Structure 1
Amino acid sequence: MAKEIKEMRIAVTGAASGIGSVIANELSSLGARVAICDKNAERVQAFTADHEDIFTSVGNVSNETDVIDFFSNVEAKLGGLDALINNAGIAGPTTNLEEFNFADWQETISVNLNGAFLCSKEAIPMLRASGGGSIINIGSTSSFFGTPLRSAYSATKWALIGLTKTWAMEYGHENIRVNAICPGSVNGPRIERVINKEADERDTDPSVVKEAYLNQTSMQTFIDPEEIVGMVKYLLSPIAQKVSGQAIAIDGHTESLSQVRIPREDS
């Protein structure tokens, strides 16, 4: 029988701030036993002070040793695992292909893609030992569209969908479900940084870029972290026990991620 969230042991990566922290806090409040990791030691310390019931760890998901240590600690502290939420990720550079620094490309791939691979690889034996479970990858609307000036980010988010569907096929017979949640632009400091970087790259005002982002969706809106949390709770719940291999968008219906068009000056 599928478990309720209050009966679960859940790991959330990249969760000392932002969307991950909202997810971890909500799942803990529902009675789940939660463990998080994050590479930012100061944020982990601050999160720990406010969340005594959540096991916290400093670690980089792109570092295999850190990942192995984290899941070893999860086993020791929680006694097993019922769900993994691969939330850790970075925005990567905002620039065109010719000016893209290869080191920045590698870092984005390493965190966003290698991190999900390494964490899922460690989680699978633990989920199997629990009689099944769930992996949720946090994708993006960039998982479905080209995203100008965001080559590395777009590549990783497309790849996550491929991994989601592949792992769902590999482990479905063991009652392990794998899904992806693909948010649009999420209200908060991160999207503001992305908008400001793109405005700098295009030599225009951030308000122009923000308006263009809003106009990419039918509902002309950004989403809130709580809406992502709602989908996480659904996918972890017994009512979703037959849902696997899906990439579910929460984005106000993205029509395209076309380029911001800056009017040219008359020559």
Structure 2
Amino acid sequence: MSAPRPSRVVVIGAAGALGSAACSALAARGTAVWAADATDAASAVAHLPGDGHRALPVDVTDQRSVDDVLRTAWDAPGESLDGLVYAPGVNLTGPVAGLDWPGYGRLMDVNLSGAFRTGQALARLLEAGPRSFGAVFLSSTAGLRGEAGGAAYSASKFGLIGFVQSFAAEIAAHGGRANTVCPGNVDSPMLRRLAAQVAEREDSTTEEILTRFADASAFRRLIDPAEVGRVCAWLVSAESSGLSGQNVVVDGPPAG
């Protein structure tokens, strides 16, 4: 007999490429998706199969906003909330010598502090009402190794992994699990913007930089967002019940 699917899952950052892919993968497994985003959450649920989907606004830089979304999904009648995907992310490229401090602050507030806010809201709910629960936080292979020009982004993603490893140990007693997913270079609008910025800095072309990104993996291609979404859907399900505090890398081996 197959493991039961999560009944209801909140996806924060649902309008982005990876958040949207997670919504699609979850819905394909029969899960009711509550899509939360600061901009256009409705777009993430508009074409999902199945029933019970809902779009909500959220600001991950505001603790009250995060609390409200999780509490609403937790208390709503019908399916139980037993999963969460944290997928918001912003990028910032450039050398440390010329660091854009306001941009750095925004990046850390979304990529790392937003995850802490989400973790706090979830931990308080689990402490008050323990249940089997799977949480996934989107990190990156940039959280496993740094490179020139990527210090700020890498720092946020390294920090996210450390947060999740610690957080997983804290919620285990209340039935909770938490893991990170570390995608490689994903074919997404954010990666294409990054490629354009790197190309300008290096006096190259966007396509040349995208080819370099693709060739960094032995796959010699960019990762499809759907490949990441399916891993997220599996990790929040009971099928991965023995995994917590782990990093799952969605990428090919390094190019030889």
Contact 1:140 1:157 in 2 (8 A): yes
1:250 aligns with 2:247: no
Tell me how far 1:117 sits from its aligned partner.
0.7
Specify the SS of the correspondent of 1:82.
strand
1:133 aligns with 2:133: yes
Greater RCO (Cα-Cα under 8 Å, separation 6 or more): 2
Distance 1:31 1:68 in 2: 26
- Amino acid aligned to 2:115: A
Tell me how far 1:3 sits from its aligned partner.
6.2
Distance 1:240 1:205 in 2: 42
- Amino acid aligned to 1:226: A
Query: Which stretch of the first structure deviates more once superposed, 96-105 or 19-28?
Result: 19-28
Tell me how far 1:4 sits from its aligned partner.
1.7
Distance 1:33 1:14 in 2: 16
- Amino acid aligned to 2:203: D
Task: Indicate how the Cα distance of structure 1 residues 110 and 78 shifts in structure 2: closer, same or farther if over 3 A, else same.
Answer: farther
Q: Which residue does the alignment assign to 2:68?
A: 69
Contact 2:161 2:247 in 1 (8 A): yes
Task: Indicate how the Cα distance of structure 1 residues 199 and 45 shifts in structure 2: closer, same or farther if over 3 A, else same.
Answer: same
Tell me how far 1:49 sits from its aligned partner.
4.3
Specify the SS of the correspondent of 1:178.
strand
- Amino acid aligned to 1:153: Y
Tell me how far 1:50 sits from its aligned partner.
3.9
- Amino acid aligned to 1:158: F
Q: Which residue does the alignment assign to 1:44?
A: 41
Q: Which residue does the alignment assign to 2:208?
A: 208
Q: Which residue does the alignment assign to 2:238?
A: 238
- Amino acid aligned to 1:70: V
**Identity percentage over the alignment?**
25
Contact 1:120 1:135 in 2 (8 A): no
Contact 1:165 1:246 in 2 (8 A): yes
1:54 aligns with 2:35: no
Tell me how far 1:201 sits from its aligned partner.
1.4
Tell me how far 1:124 sits from its aligned partner.
2.1
Q: Which residue does the alignment assign to 1:114?
A: 113
Q: Which residue does the alignment assign to 1:16?
A: 15
TM-score, normalising length from structure 1?
0.86
Distance 1:18 1:255 in 2: 25
- Amino acid aligned to 1:59: V
Specify the SS of the correspondent of 1:75.
helix
Specify the SS of the correspondent of 1:177.
strand
TM-score, normalising length from structure 2?
0.89
- Amino acid aligned to 2:212: A
Contact 1:81 1:127 in 2 (8 A): no
Q: Which residue does the alignment assign to 1:170?
A: 170
Tell me how far 1:78 sits from its aligned partner.
5.4
> Residue deviations 1:30-58, cap 9 Å, x none?
22222121111xx2344454457421112
Tell me how far 1:16 sits from its aligned partner.
2.0
Contact 2:179 2:245 in 1 (8 A): yes
Q: Which residue does the alignment assign to 1:264?
A: none
Distance 1:68 1:172 in 2: 20
Tell me how far 1:169 sits from its aligned partner.
1.8
Distance 1:185 1:123 in 2: 29
Specify the SS of the correspondent of 1:136.
strand
Tell me how far 1:206 sits from its aligned partner.
1.9
Contact 2:90 2:107 in 1 (8 A): yes
> Residue deviations 1:56-96, cap 9 Å, x none?
112211111211221232134356521111111112x2211
Number of residue pairs aligned between Structure 1 and Structure 2: 251
1:145 aligns with 2:154: no
Specify the SS of the correspondent of 2:222.
coil
> Residue deviations 1:108-136, cap 9 Å, x none?
00000011111111112334525231111
